[in-house]
């Protein structure tokens, strides 16, 4: 399995105006300051399931260190589990150079929470609640 899943540029869909979002870090338009490059990222944070990792490692050891045979013989359980929602974020070029990925993820989480709270309060207001 590849470390990076690459989609050829010919198969990547273009973006309409209605698709474009503000930067998750600075919250400005992704082309502010005249820079026309930006990133659209899909992020999710995962944690290893240490029990599953130990079981897989134990099976590999029992089979003489043969990882491929252990893969075939194992129950194919998840070795990592999501610990966050998946986020689709937009990051302008300047912010992409200034902020580590973990910071971008946390800023995007904060923005998503704020938008969810605003949407909830707008719904309550519209319903008279």
Residue range 86-107, pLDDT digits in tens: 999 999 999 999 999 999 999 9
Exposed/middle/buried for residue 38 (C-beta within 10 Å: 0-12, 13-18, 19+)? buried
Residue that wins the pLDDT comparison between 74 and 17: 17
Query: What pLDDT digit, counting tens, does each position of 4-54 carry?
Result: 888 898 999 999 999 989 999 999 999 998 999 999 999 999 999 999 999
- Are 23 and 38 in contact by the 8 Å Cβ rule? The answer is yes
Supply the pTM of this predicted model.
Answer: 0.72
Give Cα separations from 10 to 6, 7, 14, 27, 109 (angstroms). Answer: 11, 8, 10, 29, 31
Q: What are the start-end ranges of the E strands in the chain?
A: 38-43, 46-48, 80-82, 87-92
| pLDDT for the residue 104 | 93
- Banded model confidence at residue 125, pLDDT cuts 50, 70, 90: low
Can you give the residue ranges of every domain in the chain? 1-45+85-124, 46-83
* Residue 127 predicted with pLDDT over 80: no
- 128 pLDDT higher than 80: no
């Amino acid at each position: 399995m590849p470390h990076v899943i690459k989609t050829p540029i010919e198969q990547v869909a273009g973006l309409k105006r209605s698709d474009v979002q503000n930067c998750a870090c600075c919250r400005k338009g992704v082309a502010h300051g005249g820079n026309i490059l930006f990133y659209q990222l899909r992020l999710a944070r995962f944690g290893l399931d240490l029990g599953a990792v130990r079981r897989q490692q134990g099976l590999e050891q029992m089979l003489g260190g043969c990882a491929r045979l252990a893969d075939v013989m194992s129950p194919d359980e998840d070795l990592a589990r999501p610990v966050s929602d998946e986020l689709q974020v937009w990051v302008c070029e300047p912010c992409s150079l200034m902020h580590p990925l973990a910071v971008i993820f946390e800023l995007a989480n904060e923005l998503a929470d704020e938008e969810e709270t605003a949407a909830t309060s707008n719904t309550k207001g519209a319903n008279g609640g």
